[in-house]
Amino acid sequence: MLRRPDDLERLLSMCMPSESEKDGWCEALKGHDLVAIVCESDSGLADAERLGVLLNTTYHNGVDEARRNKYLMVERVKEAGLAVVKQRLCKTLEEACDFAKELGVDSGGDSDVCVVVKPIRGVGSEDVTLCNDINSVKSAFQQ
């Protein structure tokens, strides 16, 4: 039977340990078979990945920003040789509009071409917008 560390509640209530706290965390959990770190939301995923590596859980596969960054995720899929849609990481509204025009979106919405404007990070389809004209691209980009 496993014995709980005396300060388990304190450990679990804390945020990701700082560099100076890492050894204390590992020592307090020594002797426990840590299987995995489960994260309940996207906002904590990076910390959960780092904690899994730090505590050497049975199931972890490192830290990878592409799991949370939609642009990087598509780039990884492309690197693996799979077909992907054209994408561009646009930092300005002008860049987004230029790319949409380059793909065939017009200002009147008369084109059959649509583009998807989405944030780099997000949950599911939150703030993901299908745009068929430049005005909708502008509106989506400024969200």
* pLDDT tens digits along 43-56: 777 788 888 888 88
* pLDDT tens digits along 89-141: 999 999 999 999 999 998 887 778 999 999 988 777 889 999 999 999 999 99
**Of 54, 48, 50, 53, which is closest to residue 28 (Cα–Cα)?**
54
| pLDDT attached to residue 33 | 81
| pLDDT attached to residue 71 | 92
Model's pTM, two decimal places? 0.66
**Of 140, 45, 50, which is closest to residue 96 (Cα–Cα)?**
140
**Of 40, 37, 81, 80, which is closest to residue 61 (Cα–Cα)?**
37
* pLDDT tens digits along 57-86: 888 777 888 888 889 999 999 999 999 999
Given the structure tokens 């949370």, which residue do they identify?
Answer: 68
DSSP 18: P
Q: Left if phi > 0, otherwise alpha if psi is -120 to 50, otherwise beta: which for 31?
A: left
Task: Give me the amino acid identity at 99.
Answer: F
